[in-house]
Chains A and B, each alone.
Chain A
Amino acid sequence: MKGKIVIDTSMCKGCQLCIGFCPKKNIFLSSQLNAKGYFPAQADTKKVCNGCGICALMCPEAAIEVYRDDEN
């Protein structure tokens, strides 16, 4: 794993921009509603994340934190 993302599901509005733009198709919608009434985005931790941060770049809610391995 080269990177990982952490999504603040309480802030997410399920707009799916992160899902649409993730080059690795690593993000999907949860089937659990959040307190706002949206199905929030969720990272597929079984897949490889580049830590590219494109999801965070597009996220309107600033709900995504991006982590990357130091070596990259």
Chain B
Amino acid sequence: MKKVYSRPKSLRNVSMHYCPGCGHSIIHRLIAELLDEMNLQDQAICVPPAGCAVLAYNYIDIDMVEAPHGRATAVATGVKRVRPDNLVFSYQGDGDLAAIGTAEALHAANRGEHITVIFVNNAVYGMTGGQMAPTSLIGQKTTTSPHGRTVANEGPPIRVCELMAQLGGPSYLERVSVSSPAGVRKTKAAIKKAFEYQIKKSGFSLVEILSPCPTNWKMDAMASCAWIDEVMAKEFPLGVIKEVQC
């Protein structure tokens, strides 16, 4: 029998600290598979966030420059400008990108920096214990919205792709989810496309990934996937939100 799938080379052979069923682990694996398949391991530089993915540098076997909370797109801008021939991508959660890092993210997008952003939307602050994020849903109970988020108190969830689509800089914005086999395949294809945009120096690309946080959602992994498909994807419609031909 022929081996048709095994652990990607760019993913270190160590156990990750993520909770069982966490979407971050699936997304790390997809990035590592693409680095292998596109032969990018030697030239990719990742800027990981503060958040559960803070230790990404222990897992994805490429160069990394750690950024303070929210500053990943600013750091990635600097890295890309001094090393324009490297593939530079930030990896950020929704607290990191859409709360403390909103200014950096929107301005990097508006400038059309030739970087890629992997934006992991799990509708909570995972690392710090499940506080409400800008992407938490209306009615969603979190440790800081114990009675459920309301429009009156916290405003509606921020749709990052749609917000960025209003700006001149971004070339490619797509929202996907890792909640089903088809979704995982689409996520990989979207990240590949975003990397290709960057390789062709075609401006700013961002892939928003709806990603399970079973621990803070207080659901098992399968129920988390169903919640993404049945509830979260209604607030955050999947698909290409902006695409400028490169």
Q: Which residues of A line the B interface, CB within 8 A?
A: 3-4, 10-11, 13-17, 20-21, 36, 38, 51, 53-54, 56-70
**In the bound complex, do residue A69 and residue B1 qualify as a contact, i.e. CB atoms below 8 Å apart?**
yes
Interface SS, A side: loop
Closest residue of B by beta carbon distance from A20: B222
The residues of A that contact B8 with a CB separation of less than 8 Å are 62
Give the contacting residue for A54; candidates B19, B20, B26, B181; CB below 8 A.
B181
Closest residue of B by beta carbon distance from A10: B15
Complex Cα distance, B180 from A68, in Å, reads 22
Complex Cα distance, B22 from A13, in Å, reads 10
Complex Cα distance, B111 from A54, in Å, reads 39
**In the bound complex, do residue B4 and residue A57 qualify as a contact, i.e. CB atoms below 8 Å apart?**
no
**In the bound complex, do residue A67 and residue B15 qualify as a contact, i.e. CB atoms below 8 Å apart?**
no
Complex Cα distance, B222 from A14, in Å, reads 12
Complex Cα distance, B181 from A64, in Å, reads 15
**In the bound complex, do residue B2 and residue A68 qualify as a contact, i.e. CB atoms below 8 Å apart?**
yes
**In the bound complex, do residue A60 and residue B15 qualify as a contact, i.e. CB atoms below 8 Å apart?**
no
Complex Cα distance, B2 from A68, in Å, reads 5
Closest residue of A by beta carbon distance from B22: A60
Q: How far is the CB of B169 from chain A (nearest CB, A)?
A: 33
**In the bound complex, do residue A4 and residue B1 qualify as a contact, i.e. CB atoms below 8 Å apart?**
yes
The residues of A that contact B23 with a CB separation of less than 8 Å are 60
The residues of B that contact A63 with a CB separation of less than 8 Å are 7
The residues of A that contact B2 with a CB separation of less than 8 Å are 67-70
Q: Is B25 an interface residue (CB 8 A)?
A: yes
**In the bound complex, do residue A17 and residue B225 qualify as a contact, i.e. CB atoms below 8 Å apart?**
yes
Closest residue of A by beta carbon distance from B16: A61
Q: How far is the CB of B140 from chain A (nearest CB, A)?
A: 22
**In the bound complex, do residue B5 and residue A20 qualify as a contact, i.e. CB atoms below 8 Å apart?**
no
The residues of B that contact A68 with a CB separation of less than 8 Å are 1-2, 4
Q: Which of A14, A58, A69 has the most CB of B within 10 A?
A: A58
Closest residue of A by beta carbon distance from B188: A57
Complex Cα distance, B35 from A45, in Å, reads 33
The residues of A that contact B180 with a CB separation of less than 8 Å are 21
Q: Is B85 an interface residue (CB 8 A)?
A: no
Complex Cα distance, B23 from A15, in Å, reads 11
Interface flags for B95-108 (1: CB within 8 Å of A; 0: not) read: 00000000000000
**In the bound complex, do residue B221 and residue A15 qualify as a contact, i.e. CB atoms below 8 Å apart?**
yes
The residues of B that contact A36 with a CB separation of less than 8 Å are 15
Closest residue of A by beta carbon distance from B184: A57
Given contact pairs A14-B20, A17-B21, A62-B11, A53 touches B26 in the complex (Cβ within 8 A): no
**In the bound complex, do residue A58 and residue B184 qualify as a contact, i.e. CB atoms below 8 Å apart?**
yes
**In the bound complex, do residue A62 and residue B7 qualify as a contact, i.e. CB atoms below 8 Å apart?**
yes
